């Protein structure tokens, strides 16, 4: 234990007022589910019940889609500058209420307040700000002089960045003139419901944004509903596949942002201290609940020992615990189900012969769902932990000898969302970037996001891009 | 007495200018954006209540309380010494500072004023701050300071020689000052603001350590860029790696621009999470500062009483 | 403005220049009388000198590294903040525009609202210019090749004479959004809304020196700005009614090969501004980098 132990520094919960129950947000009003079904949402850090939310069924999906359809005509007919005004208002309100929403997000999701405060909320607001600017500039976006919206978008988002993924879906859809029915993840419904209140403060016309809470069955009803024109999904590759089957044969447009198994490739001339930070950020950011996480470390054999030593030393300083503590680096695993999956894959790693390591003395809280930051060495391409997305704080270390071998191993996956390259040599970065079959390539950095930068995958990581000028295309009839 | 020759394992890297250059340029590069980002994240650590109280006392004990002005007088130096020995006249529980840092001609005054106290005398030397003097002058300056009673010598490197690639010249000069300083602890000032790049700061850190520095210090406080969180973080990485490579531990001293308790605590967080707890003592980490002490005292009073203090409740020295 | 507000005698405002984030009087000490469209006296405005113009260029140059180096997102936020602050003073500006241009209140409010919208329009462009005007070039060889628009530098802007606020905003915002800094010469006859806009800019997180506003004789101030060696571009919109002056200034601007935006015969300031002005004050920079192991 350090002689300079940090005292607890919890962010105040008083900034957020969570009601004991929430309805569905349809046509500008909160209402109970038609069948009156509800389900609880918990803090994964304490297992405390935070609230009870409505469980939308088929009738609710239908009502929401009708509301969105009714709103579509007037909304899409507004001058772009007026849609922009609403979106700028939303951006500003998100900035104003960012601390409240950050605390809420950390409570419901389990992520550290440092990340919800410094990453999720600023990026969510920036995303609205960016797409607000496009709303009156669509003629300049390269999709023709007067690109038209698609209609009603059914959007299903994951639990890892609840509000940020909402922003990625809602902002471009609204900017281009679509209306939306959005379903947040079952385990993290609250920030979307607070977003409904943000829409009310912004005086967004009723029906433009509708929010349905529920589980996978609600999402399935939504994507299958004949009244929607567009499906946008972020989540697992398995669910993405079934959605692709559902929309097959319909006129619905589809974009999918799915899983990943990114390689983070470290050459012997890398800036080593920053590479270590990038590896840590790549896999332990947001407890590893990141589709583009750098979950496979590919390190050049000549620097393997040096790098692993530095990485382990750095991992020993990671602070795991209360998500609301301002000094926490790694928070809670989002759900018991996810924890079980991580545990199962980690056990498979050991069973298949990889060597497992976690920092000694990493104490996990007794309540809630937790998993210590974990490193596997001696991993082979054939191991499950090198192939399957773990979606947790587990890093698999492999080695390579030449750039060609690094590329071959990096691309040897069904996924293709992201990749990282660490070297001081510029021409090699560009050569590697050229060869890597991944939608985002980070060089000497990792897990960087910006509203102006397109994001999305190759292969089974999905299709379509979110963010940037490219992100408009998914919501335009082009 | 610390070694004046580089550790055996690294002896041949200083054999020639070319060898030294190859070695220093073979150190891993520094990605500036990544380094700045890491320092910024550590800067968000929230140190409160008991941890803050510990940090404040630790920071006070690490201060090299400094006056380096053309207008310095014996009176000014004596008054600073009194402050360093007993920072808060109303509270004997406040630790003394680590050292009083002065120009060489004031070293004897400080030595006298600090007699019988554990506070050390640090003197700048080697034609501080520019270092633009002939080597014999720099060595005489050093001997002078030590003869006057300096326990520690803060020397400046020849940045001109470093920037033009004459690394061996810089190395030999540090080694010569190391020898001239005799029993005194040697702090080597890199003047990061003039070195300009992080790669240079890493190389200069290693160069100074190879040449026998007991401490590496960020800056003189006399140029526009002095201690920053990223450049101090980088130097902490260097001392950490140097100990791993050679077994010899070297201290770090950021100086210039550290004025508030919040700043000082950020530096302690850097030490804690980069070099580690082994460096969390005045033996291995110092803060070169003047106005910082009063802010620490005001924050200390706030923690003790619950009331915000004001500048009228700490002494002006 | 109006001599009385209610029963009380109103306090008059002294209009000043805006240079380097401060509000100086003209160093010359000169003022000129500004009247409404009926010839009624409104205020004494500073009659800027050549020295004021030089000072403004120095301030603009000093502000350039910081403003052009700020992130596009930050510049967008700042311009949007201008729109917010202007909204809060909508009534005041409607009064000033009505008096300056002889518009009825409704038309003046419409002009102010359009000016607010213009700031918002350009705020949104900050992080999109590069995506529309830049991009990767597929050169025939193992090279990564990328073109990006960058700001030209210090831009002198002769604001339109006919539209005291909307016209001014329409020529100013596209200059600064991409990272240029500006020295603006207001409408000669109707400078007051522009001078009041300085108060909005000063409270909108616009760094000092990014926008500098001078009132006075367009011809007197245009000449030293057009000839100034440390000005990179000049917008001659305000010389639209004087072909001889425009030619003279364009000729002077050739001295250091300034980018010149010539005046158009008539511009409809309420129309969709497009990207023409925005792209007039950027340079395209192309970067080559080899690709190889």
The ipTM assigned to this model is 0.95
Measuring CA to CA, which residue among A227, A238, A328, A317 is closest to residue A280?
Answer: A317
The residue with tokens 């969390």 is B280
A427 interaction partners in chain C (CB closer than 8 Å): 289-293
Helix H or strand E encompassing C233? strand C233-235
Chain C closest-CA separation from residue A132 CA (Å): 7
Q: Is C66 helix (H, G, I), strand (E, B) or coil?
A: helix
The answer to whether the beta carbons of residues B302 and B308 sit under 8 Å apart is yes
Judge whether B37 is closer than 8 Å to chain A, CB to CB.
yes
Chain A closest-CA separation from residue C91 CA (Å): 20
A410-453 per-position pLDDT tens digit: 999 999 999 999 999 999 999 999 999 999 999 999 999 999 99
Give the span between the Cα atoms of B124 and B104, in whole angstroms: 6
CA–CA distances in Å: residue C87 to residues A305, C90, C162? 61, 5, 22
Phi/psi of residue B63, nearest 5 degrees? -75, 135
A38-62 per-position pLDDT tens digit: 999 999 999 999 999 999 999 999 9
**Domain map of chain B by residue range?**
9-309
Give the span between the Cα atoms of A247 and B24, in whole angstroms: 60
Chain A closest-CA separation from residue C69 CA (Å): 17
Give the span between the Cα atoms of B77 and B122, in whole angstroms: 12
CB contact under 8 A, C132 and A140: yes
CB contact under 8 A, C124 and A136: yes
B31 interaction partners in chain A (CB closer than 8 Å): 271, 274, 444-445
- As given in the structure block, the two tokens for residue A25 are 């947000």
Judge whether B272 is closer than 8 Å to chain A, CB to CB.
yes
pLDDT value for C1:
46
Taking a contact as any Cβ pair under 8 Å apart, which residues of chain C between 226 and 245 contact chain A?
none
pLDDT value for C266:
84
Quote the radius of gyration of chain C (alpha carbons, Å): 20
- What is the rounded end-to-end Cα distance, in angstroms, of chain C? 71
- As given in the structure block, the two tokens for residue B138 are 């720099």
Chain A closest-CA separation from residue C259 CA (Å): 24
Chain B touching partners, 3 or more CB pairs below 8 A:
A
The answer to whether the beta carbons of residues A188 and A266 sit under 8 Å apart is no
Which is the catalytic residue, given A257, A460, A466, A473?
Answer: A257
- As given in the structure block, the two tokens for residue A305 are 């020992």
Closest alpha carbon within chain A to C119: A133
Closest alpha carbon within chain C to A427: C291
Percent of chain A whose pLDDT exceeds 90? 98
Instruction: List residues of A whose CB lies inside 8 A of any C CB.
Output: 81, 84-85, 88, 126, 129-130, 132-137, 140-142, 403, 426-428, 430-431, 434, 451-452, 468-469
A81 → closest Cβ in C117, C144, C275: C117
CB contact under 8 A, A469 and C73: no
Chain C closest-CA separation from residue A402 CA (Å): 10
Chain A closest-CA separation from residue B186 CA (Å): 26
CA–CA distances in Å: residue B208 to residues A322, A345, B28, B156? 42, 48, 17, 10
CATH of A263-443, picked from 3.90.1150.10, 3.40.50.2300, 3.40.309.10, 3.30.1370.10, is: 3.40.309.10
Judge whether B243 is closer than 8 Å to chain A, CB to CB.
no
CB contact under 8 A, A140 and C290: no
Q: Thinking of the domain A13-258+459-473, which architecture would CATH place it in?
A: 3-Layer(aba) Sandwich (3.40)
- As given in the structure block, the two tokens for residue A472 are 């408009």
B38 → closest Cβ in A269, A277, A424: A277
Strand B120-124 to B99-102 pairing: parallel
Chain B closest-CA separation from residue A430 CA (Å): 17
Cα dihedral A380, A383, A385, A388 sign:
positive
The strand pairing partners of B27, in sequence order, are none
pLDDT value for C7:
75
CB contact under 8 A, C291 and A133: no
The answer to whether the beta carbons of residues B248 and B240 sit under 8 Å apart is no
pLDDT tens string, chain C, 293 residues long: the values are: 445 556 789 999 999 999 999 999 999 999 999 999 899 999 999 999 999 999 999 999 999 999 999 999 999 999 999 999 999 999 999 999 999 999 999 999 999 999 999 999 999 999 999 999 999 999 999 999 999 999 999 999 999 999 999 999 999 999 999 999 999 999 999 999 999 999 999 999 999 999 999 999 999 999 999 999 999 999 999 999 999 999 999 999 999 999 999 998 889 999 999 999 999 999 999 999 999 99
Q: What is the mean pLDDT of residues A366-390?
A: 97
Q: What is the CATH number of domain B9-309?
A: 3.20.20.70
Judge whether B26 is closer than 8 Å to chain A, CB to CB.
no
Judge whether C141 is closer than 8 Å to chain A, CB to CB.
no
pLDDT, mean over chain A: 97
**Domain map of chain A by residue range?**
13-258+459-473, 263-443
Judge whether C122 is closer than 8 Å to chain A, CB to CB.
no
Helix axes A162-175, A121-134, angle to 10 degrees: 10
Max distance between CA atoms of chain A, in angstroms, equals 65
The answer to whether the beta carbons of residues A33 and A61 sit under 8 Å apart is no
Best A271, A318, A319, A322 residue to mutate vs chain B (most B CBs within 10 Å): A271
Q: Is B73 helix (H, G, I), strand (E, B) or coil?
A: coil
Give the span between the Cα atoms of A212 and C227, in whole angstroms: 64
pLDDT value for B11:
81
Phi/psi of residue A281, nearest 5 degrees? -65, -35
Q: Thinking of the domain C16-290, which architecture would CATH place it in?
A: 3-Layer(aba) Sandwich (3.40)
For the beta sheet containing C282-290, the strands, ordered from the edge strand earlier in sequence to the opposite edge, are C135-136, C143-151, C282-290
CB contact under 8 A, A133 and C126: yes
Helix, strand, coil share of chain B (percent; to 5): 50, 10, 35
A142 interaction partners in chain C (CB closer than 8 Å): 132
A450 interaction partners in chain B (CB closer than 8 Å): none
Judge whether C290 is closer than 8 Å to chain A, CB to CB.
yes
Chain C touching partners, 3 or more CB pairs below 8 A:
A
CB contact under 8 A, B45 and A274: no
C131 → closest Cβ in A136, A427, A469: A469
- As given in the structure block, the two tokens for residue A67 are 């509301």
**Domain map of chain C by residue range?**
16-290
Chain A closest-CA separation from residue C122 CA (Å): 8
B58 interaction partners in chain A (CB closer than 8 Å): 4
Q: What is the mean pLDDT of residues A4-29?
A: 97
Tell me whether chains B and C touch (3+ CB pairs under 8 A): no
CA–CA distances in Å: residue B315 to residues A336, B67, B71, B232? 58, 16, 20, 29
The strand pairing partners of A45, in sequence order, are none
B51 → closest Cβ in A7, A271, A424: A7
Closest alpha carbon within chain A to B29: A271
Give the span between the Cα atoms of B175 and B307, in whole angstroms: 50
What residues of chain B score a pLDDT lower than 70?
1-6
pLDDT value for B317:
82
C195-235 per-position pLDDT tens digit: 999 999 999 999 999 999 999 999 999 999 999 999 999 99
In this prediction the pTM is: 0.96
CB contact under 8 A, A88 and C80: yes
Question: Would you name the residues of B annotated as active-site residues?
Answer: 154, 217, 253
pLDDT value for C6:
62
CB contact under 8 A, B29 and A326: no
Q: What is the 3-state secondary structure (H, E, C) of chain A?
A: CCCCCCCCCECCHHHCCCCCEECEEECCEEECCCCCCEEEEECCCCCCEEEEEECCCHHHHHHHHHHHHHHHHHHHHCCHHHHHHHHHHHHHHHHHCHHHHHHHHHHHHCCCHHHHHHHHHHHHHHHHHHHHHHCCCHHHCCCCCCCCECCEEEEECCCCCHHHHHHHHHHHHHHCCCEEEEECCCCCCHHHHHHHHHHHHCCCCCCCEEECCCCHHHHHHHHHCCCCCEEEEECCHHHHHHHHHHHCCCCCEEEEECCCCCEEEECCCCCHHHHHHHHHHHHHHHHHCCCCCCCEEEEEHHHHHHHHHHHHHHHCCCCECCCCECCCCECCCCCHHHHHHHHHHHHHHHHCCCEEECCCCCCCCCCCCCCCCEEEECCCCCCHHHHCCCCCCEEEEEEECCHHHHHHHHHCCCCCCEEEEECCCHHHHHHHHHHCCCCEEEECCCCCCCCCCCECCCHHHEECCECCCHHHHCCECC
B277 → closest Cβ in A4, A277, A424: A4
pLDDT value for B79:
97
Give the span between the Cα atoms of C172 and C182, in whole angstroms: 7
A469 interaction partners in chain C (CB closer than 8 Å): 128, 131-132
């Amino acid at each position: 234990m350090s002689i300079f132990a940090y005292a607890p520094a919890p962010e105040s919960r008083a900034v957020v007022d969570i009601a004991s129950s929430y309805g569905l947000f349809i046509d500008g009003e909160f209402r109970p589910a038609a069948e009156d079904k509800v389900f609880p949402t918990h803090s994964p850090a304490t297992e405390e019940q935070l609230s009870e939310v409505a469980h939308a069924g088929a009738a609710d999906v239908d009502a929401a889609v009708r509301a969105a359809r009714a709103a579509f005509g007037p909304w899409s007919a507004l001058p772009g500058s007026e849609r922009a005004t609403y979106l700028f208002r939303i951006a500003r309100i998100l900035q104003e209420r960012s601390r409240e929403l950050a605390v809420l997000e950390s409570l419901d999701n389990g992520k550290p307040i440092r990340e919800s405060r410094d990453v999720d909320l600023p990026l969510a607001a920036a995303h609205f700000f960016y797409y607000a600017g496009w709303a009156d500039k669509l003629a300049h976006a390269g999709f023709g002089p007067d690109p038209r919206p698609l209609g009603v978008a059914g959007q299903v988002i994951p639990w890892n960045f609840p509000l940020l993924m909402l922003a990625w879906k809602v902002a471009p859809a609204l900017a281009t003139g679509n209306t939306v029915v959005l379903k947040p993840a079952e385990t993290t419904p609250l920030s979307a419901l607070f977003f409904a209140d943000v829409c009310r403060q912004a005086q967004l016309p009723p029906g433009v944004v509708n929010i349905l809470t529920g589980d996978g069955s609600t999402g399935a009803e939504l994507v299958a509903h004949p009244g929607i024109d567009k499906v946008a999904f972020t989540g697992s590759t398995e669910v993405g596949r079934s959605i692709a089957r559902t929309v097959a044969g319909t006129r619905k447009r589809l974009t999918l942002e799915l899983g990943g198994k990114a390689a983070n490739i470290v050459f012997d001339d890398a800036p080593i201290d920053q590479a270590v930070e990038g590896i840590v950020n790549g896999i332990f950011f947001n407890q590893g609940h990141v589709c583009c996480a750098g979950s496979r470390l590919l390190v050049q054999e000549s620097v393997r020992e040096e790098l692993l030593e530095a990485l382990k030393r750095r991992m020993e300083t990671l602070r795991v615990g209360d998500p609301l503590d301002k000094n926490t680096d790694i928070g809670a695993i989002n759900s018991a189900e996810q924890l079980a999956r991580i545990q199962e894959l980690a056990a498979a790693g050991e069973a298949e012969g990889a060597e497992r390591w976690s920092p000694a003395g990493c104490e996990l809280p007794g309540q809630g769902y937790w998993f210590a930051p974990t490193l596997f060495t001696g991993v082979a391409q054939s191991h499950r932990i090198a192939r399957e997305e773990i979606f947790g704080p587990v890093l698999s270390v492999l080695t390579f000898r030449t750039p060609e071998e690094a590329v071959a191993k990096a691309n040897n996956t069904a996924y293709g969302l992201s990749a990282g390259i660490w070297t001081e040599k510029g021409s090699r970065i560009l050569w590697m970037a050229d060869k890597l079959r991944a939608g985002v390539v980070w060089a000497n950095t990792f897990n960087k996001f910006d509203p102006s930068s397109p994001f999305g995958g190759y292969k089974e990581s999905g299709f379509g891009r979110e963010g940037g000028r490219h992100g408009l295309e998914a919501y335009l009839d082009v | 007495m610390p070694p004046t020759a580089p550790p055996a394992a690294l002896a041949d890297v200083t054999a020639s200018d070319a060898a030294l250059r190859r070695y220093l340029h073979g150190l891993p590069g520094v990605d500036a954006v990544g380094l700045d980002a890491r320092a910024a994240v550590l800067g968000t650590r929230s140190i409160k209540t008991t941890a803050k109280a510990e940090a404040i006392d630790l920071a006070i004990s690490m201060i090299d309380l400094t006056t380096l002005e053309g207008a310095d007088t014996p009176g000014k130096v004596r008054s600073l010494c009194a402050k360093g020995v007993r920072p808060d006249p109303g509270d004997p529980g406040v630790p003394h500072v680590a050292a009083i840092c002065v120009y060489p001609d004031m070293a004897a005054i400080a030595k006298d004023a600090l007699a019988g106290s554990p506070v050390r005398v640090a003197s700048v030397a080697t034609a501080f701050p520019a270092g633009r003097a002939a080597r014999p002058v720099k060595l005489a300056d050093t001997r002078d300071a030590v003869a006057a009673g300096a326990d520690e010598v803060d020397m400046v490197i020849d940045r001109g020689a470093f920037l033009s690639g004459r690394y061996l010249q810089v190395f030999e000069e540090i080694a010569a000052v190391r020898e001239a300083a005799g029993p005194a602890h040697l702090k080597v000032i890199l003047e990061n603001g003039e070195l300009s790049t992080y790669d240079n700061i890493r190389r200069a850190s290693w160069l100074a350590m190879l040449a026998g520095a007991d401490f590496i210090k960020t800056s003189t406080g006399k140029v526009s860029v002095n201690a920053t969180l990223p450049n101090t973080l980088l130097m902490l990485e260097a001392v950490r790696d140097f100990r791993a490579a050679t077994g010899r531990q070297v201290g770090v001293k950021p100086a210039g621009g550290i004025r508030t308790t919040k700043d000082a605590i950020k530096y302690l967080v850097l030490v804690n999470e980069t070099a580690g707890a082994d460096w969390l003592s005045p033996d291995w980490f110092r803060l070169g500062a003047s106005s910082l002490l009063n802010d620490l005292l005001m924050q200390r009073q706030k923690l003790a009483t619950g009331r915000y203090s004001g500048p009228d409740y700490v002494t002006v020295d | 403005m109006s001599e009385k507000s209610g029963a009380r005698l109103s306090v008059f405002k002294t209009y000043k220049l805006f240079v380097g984030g401060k509000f100086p009087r003209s160093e010359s000490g000169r003022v000129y009388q500004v009247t409404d469209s009926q010839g009624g006296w409104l205020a004494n405005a500073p009659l800027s000198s050549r020295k004021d113009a030089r000072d403004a260029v120095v301030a603009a140059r000093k502000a350039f590294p910081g403003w052009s180096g700020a992130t596009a997102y930050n510049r967008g936020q700042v311009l949007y903040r201008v729109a917010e602050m202007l909204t809060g003073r909508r009534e005041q500006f409607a009064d000033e525009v009505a008096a300056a241009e002889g518009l009825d209140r409704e038309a003046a409010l419409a002009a102010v609202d359009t000016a607010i919208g213009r700031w918002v329009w350009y705020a949104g462009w900050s992080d999109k210019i590069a995506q529309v005007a830049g991009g990767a070039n597929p050169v025939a060889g193992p090279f990564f090749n990328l073109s990006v628009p960058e700001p030209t530098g210090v831009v002198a802007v002769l604001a339109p004479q006919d539209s005291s606020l909307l016209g001014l905003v329409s020529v100013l915002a596209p200059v600064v959004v991409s990272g240029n800094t500006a020295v603006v010469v207001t409408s000669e006859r109707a400078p007051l809304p522009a001078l009041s806009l300085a108060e909005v800019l000063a409270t909108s997180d616009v760094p000092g020196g990014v926008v500098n506003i001078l009132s006075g004789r367009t011809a007197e101030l245009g000449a030293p700005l057009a000839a100034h060696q440390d000005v990179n571009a000049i917008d001659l919109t305000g010389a639209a009614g004087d072909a001889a002056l425009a030619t003279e200034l364009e000729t002077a601007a050739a001295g250091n090969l300034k980018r010149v935006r010539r005046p158009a015969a008539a511009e409809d300031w309420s129309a969709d501004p497009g990207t023409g002005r925005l792209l007039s004050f950027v340079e395209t920079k192309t970067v080559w980098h080899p690709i190889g192991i």
